[in-house]
Chain A
Amino acid sequence: MSKDTEKAPEQVSKHGLARRGFLKGAGIGAAGASVLDGVNLFAKEVAKSSDAPTVGPGRVPISLHINGKPYRLLIEPSTTLADALRYELGLTGTKVVCDRGSCSACTVMLDKMPVCSCMMLAVDVENRKITTIEGLAQNGELHPVQAAFVEHDALQCGFCTPGMVISCVALLERNPNPTLADVKLATSGNICRCGTYPKVFDATLAAAGAKRA
């Protein structure tokens, strides 16, 4: 992510789509220059002060809070969270597989809730705490669920793994003592074509046990 900052435009909206400290260059690679004509740096004039601000369809500045770090970027409203992570921010751990919310490979945690980042707009998740697979390890130590996945071989090709891990981490966050049925339910939206589900169950139950111990 580019770090070249520019003096921020004044806060343009109390609704928070554009805000102070916006970094103009963020998220625009060298290639971005040719599409800057569509950039909408300021929210459109609003007819009445009570009306909600409208932005886009060109690029709008947003800030995202991912893995405990603030990110500022310029994106069109049509950019999904998954695409913003993968193409704008280089956080490619989150995978896109079906791009329709049917396989859960793109699962991230939004304020601790697992959601499909492919069916969520990046402009819609400002001010939310986003946790991706890159944000689970702390100080170089794998999260207990990640460690258990390795220990139990709960992965093969590994492409469903980030989403699967997030689903299981989110489960343990709200239910530290899950049953097998709970784990199955929590992962019921995550497709694994290699068929690693049995080991995902083992790993998650073991991680829960280790966390309790």
Chain B
Amino acid sequence: MNRFAFTNCDTLDQALSALTPGAELKAGGTDVLDRMKERISAPEKLVNIRNIQALRGIDESSTGLRIGPLMTLGEIAEHPAIQKNYTALANAAAHAATPQIRNMGTIGGNLVQRPRCWYFRSADYDCRRKGGETCYAQIGDNEYHAIFHNSICAIVHPSSTAVPLMALGGSLDVASSDGKRTIPLETFFLLPEQNWTRENILRPGEIITAINVPKPASTARSAYQKWAEREGTDWAIADAGVVLDMDGDTCRKAAIVVGAAAPAPLRMHEAEVMLAGKPITEETARAAGKAAMVKASPLTHNAYKIPMFEVAIYRTILLTAGKMGPDPSAVGGRA
């Protein structure tokens, strides 16, 4: 880890003025310290926002949920209102990383953490995302990599909370010294075709100030499931967040987002279209899973993800609709 100056902020204004070129934000610190230890990041200054009380808090109202970005994953996972009305988000937070990291890592940090691709995380690989010429995952060890949008850079986006948040139609409030804006999560993340050195459209000097989730319709239900090699602590090899707005047995509208499939959380429009106006059954759910994977373009070692996602989507649709229990093969599924 390089030596650095440290600015401890109590207010958002302090943080915004401290966030000068060469500085990096630190909230929970679990991502930035890892990058610094791996020597792929070497900020001159860390701007510590972890103690800014104004960026904490969970507020549930009739219009929706407003979450302070410094709330830890553990706090979100255990929040009764989120567990009840935004179950998919609570589940995603509950199954990220380890209990210890969930007590440190914040939801804001979870959304903007850098990828876990082993070529990106190694100082020995001057990969394309770090400004180099090559994406080593293309012909390298790519078993955990993207099956969509992977021809330029094959990372998968590491955030599990982004998956349900996007499915639930969430948005981010961000601030900079120039002002404020609100960004729907749908447009927040970048694919390599847009920019292969950044994962989102946050500008230098901008800080997330709130995560908003609109209140789902009373007829809507949501679920999230994650699959990994290990059953406890592990990175997703597939995860799925589903929101179904139901009219009796018929699906009025579906939002289906997958993680660990692409360099950004990805909406599965083909699958959503297949469900609209149809009853949720084993057949329709399976068909949706299949439809979602039609355009997948796997690499040398990750074609196994295609059948996995087909099933992940189908099972999560049925779970959402209450027609199947939580998947025992999913992370935490046996708890």
Contact = CB atoms under 8 A, between A and B. Distances in A.
A121 B29 contact: yes
Interface in A155-195: 167, 181, 184-186, 188-189
A184 B232 contact: yes
Nearest to B3: A57
Given A15-B10, A119-B30, A189-B233, A56 B3 contact: yes
A57 B4 contact: yes
A101 B34 contact: yes
B174 interface: no
B59 interface: no
Nearest to B46: A77
A52 B7 contact: yes
Interface residues of B, number: 40
Interface string B86-102: 00000000000111110
Contacts of B18: 51-52, 54
Summarize B's interface: helix, strand, loop or mixed: mixed
Most buried by B among A80, A110, A184, A188: A188
A77 B6 contact: yes
A30 B34 CA distance: 31
Contact of A104 (B5, B50, B98, B335): B98
Contacts of B8: 15-17, 52-53, 55, 123-124
A119 B7 contact: no
Given A100-B37, A116-B101, A124-B50, A53 B233 contact: no
B34 A167 contact: no
Interface residues of A, number: 43
Nearest to A44: B5
B45 interface: yes
A76 interface: yes
21 contacts: A15-B8, A44-B5, A50-B14, A52-B9, A57-B3, A57-B4, A77-B6, A78-B4, A78-B36, A99-B37, A100-B34, A115-B104, A116-B30, A119-B101, A123-B6, A123-B8, A124-B8, A185-B232, A188-B233, A189-B99, A189-B100
Interface of B: 1-11, 13-15, 17-18, 26, 29-30, 33-34, 36-37, 45-46, 48, 50, 74, 97-101, 103-104, 232-233, 332, 334-335
Interface of A: 15-17, 38, 44, 48, 50-58, 60, 76-78, 80, 99-102, 104, 107, 110, 113-116, 119-121, 123-124, 167, 181, 184-186, 188-189
